[in-house]
Structure formats: structure tokens, C-alpha cells
Amino acid sequence: MTEYRNPSPELRARVALEKHGFRNTHSLGQNFLLDAGLLDHLLDLAGVGPEDNVLEIGPGAGVMTALLSERCRRVLAVEVDRGLEPVLNDVLAGLENARVAYRDVMKADVAALTAEAFGNEPWRVVANLPYYITADILLRLVTAARAPESIAIMVQREAAERVMSHPGQKQWCALAATAQSYGRARVLADVPPEAFDPPPHVQSQFIIIEKHPEPVVTPRDPQVYLRVINTAFAMRRKTLANNLKAAFGLDNDAARAVLGAAGVDERVRGEALTLQELCRVADGLEAYRREQGTGNREQE
């Protein structure tokens, strides 16, 4: 008698997509990964295991969701497209440690979602992200009060280059500085267009950003530090002094005083600064504003 085996997640997904007549929506960045062998390899590289709680953003047809449920303690997938609900119901049937929240992750309260799903336990992110939200979702994740332990995501190769750029390089930007303040970024794998359904018109890389064991910078006020990062790259052709004046309402003398206290040349452009220098500028700005009695009030 032949033993019955539950079909693989890949087969379940392909059958469900056909059964429910699902068609990918280009505007939602729906380029699915259905190859279970490839996804298993990517999850090996991401290093998730039995003790991990995982947030998946954009589960698509649910192949990676199902594979994560086999490896991890609990899985919460956040999907914006309700049209995928019958597909995901079929693919994830019987997987009690995986659930789907049908929300727009860019509007959802991620802290509340993860707290409900995982309690106070640590959590990680693994996702084949829609590329159009890469920067926005990364910024939300790395600046969260309760950030994940790691973020393993599929991104466009150009986005990976930006995230892993260094001060002085053309790609060095607010996203890179903010992400690297949170953790160490590295490429895990190159993934060709033909691995996706449908194939995107770009090259992709699977990257991971692992939270620093100890902070690389400790600004006095993290919110001021993040504002300084955004200010530094706001107008790349202008000096940091000019950008600070515009963003924080400083006059020439105040801008020079802040940069002088930070040990930074007043003629420098923001994209040349390291994380440590950006932190010193933020601390210098915070000290100056306190001396002037403005505290943490926003510019009026």
C-alpha cells in the first residue's frame, strides 16, 4: 500500500493559484517565489530555526510561509491583497503555528501585530518584499522601539547596494545610515529574474541586516539623531551647515557652533559623515537647543 504524503508547499501553491484563478497585480509588486528548493536554501542562509518567531511581509502564494512554519516556532504573515486569501487558506491549511493578517503593512501598527502574535518574545523578519516598499518598510523596522533581531529580505540589487554603502560613496544615503545604525548588512544570495513568477525586470539579492549586539552609536536623543540623518541627505549639493539651518531654524553662528562642538568642518556635506560624526552632530544640536531653552520642540 502506497503511503500518502501531503503535497509540497510549492505544489499546493501552484494548484491553489490555478484553482482560484489568481492573477498577479503588477502595482502591488507581486513577483512570487514558488520554488520550494530555492526558498529552503534562502531560509538556511537566513538562519531561522525552531525557537524563532518570524514576521513575513508579503507572503504571496504562501510557499515560504509554509516552509517557515515547518522550521520556526510561530509565523505571522502580513498580506495586503485579499484576493490571495483563498490561495493562502489552501496552502496553509493545517499549519497551526502560521497565521495571516490581511493588512497594509505601511499603515498597520507593526508593534501591536507582533506583540499580539509573539508576546514579548524576540522576533525576526523574513520576506520577499514588494520592491516599491523596500525603503519605507526598512526604515519602519529598524527605527521601531522594539525592533526585530534580524531582517532577511529580497530586494532589488540597487537597493542592496545602497543599504551596504559607506560614507563618501555615491550610494551613501539616509537609508544606509539608518539601517547601519541598527545592524550589520550583508548579501546572502543573488537571485535571478527567472526564479520569480512573473520574472521582474531587475536583478535581485537576498540580504540580511542583523541587529548589532551593542549599539554602534548612542545618541542622547534618538529622534534628533534620525532627524539629523534625514537632514544631512536632504539636499546633497548643500553643505551640512546649510541643511541644518533649513531644518532646525538655526542661524549661521548657531550652525557653526553645533558643527564645531561635534568636531565637524562647517563646509562638509552630510553624505561624507560617518555614523559617529552624525551622532556627534545630533548631540551637539541637542546640547545647543537645550542651552537656548528650546529643548526638543520642533521648529515652528
Q: How far apart are CA 178 and CA 175, in angstroms?
A: 5
- Whichever domain contains 168, its CATH number is 3.40.50.150
pLDDT digit string (tens) for 151-190? Answer: 999 999 999 999 999 998 999 999 999 999 999 999 999 9
In the block, residue with C-alpha cell 537576498: 206
The average pLDDT across 147-152 equals 98
Same domain, 59 and 191: yes
Q: Is residue 216 part of a domain?
A: no
Q: Is residue 299 part of a domain?
A: no
Average pLDDT value for the chain: 92
Q: How far apart are CA 296 and CA 298, in angstroms?
A: 6
Q: How far apart are CA 282 and CA 279, in angstroms?
A: 5
Alpha-carbon distance values, 13 to 19, 36, 83, 193, 232 (Å): 10, 10, 14, 19, 46
What DSSP string runs through 240-270?
HHHHHHHHH---HHHHHHHHHHHT--TT--G
Cβ burial, residue 262 (10 Å; 0-12/13-18/19+): buried
Same domain, 165 and 130: yes
- Whichever domain contains 284, its CATH number is 1.10.8.100
Same domain, 242 and 182: no
* Residue 222: strand, helix, or coil: helix
Number of domains making up the chain:
2
Chosen domain end from 211, 240, 256: 211
58's grid cell: 508579503
Same domain, 104 and 240: no
Residues 6+ apart with CB under 8 A from 269: 236, 237, 238, 239, 240
Same domain, 75 and 116: yes
The average pLDDT across 127-153 equals 95
pLDDT digit string (tens) for 267-284? Answer: 898 889 999 999 999 999
Q: Are 102 and 82 in contact (CB under 8 A)?
A: yes
pLDDT digit string (tens) for 180-220? Answer: 999 999 999 999 999 999 999 999 999 999 999 999 999 99
The average pLDDT across 137-164 equals 96
The answer, yes or no, to whether residue 242 has pLDDT greater than 70, is: yes
Chosen domain end from 171, 187, 211: 211
Same domain, 119 and 265: no
Chosen domain end from 185, 211, 237: 211
Q: Is residue 137 part of a domain?
A: yes
- What's residue 266's pLDDT? 85
Q: Is residue 297 part of a domain?
A: no
Same domain, 180 and 144: yes
Containing domain of residue 21, as a range? 9-211
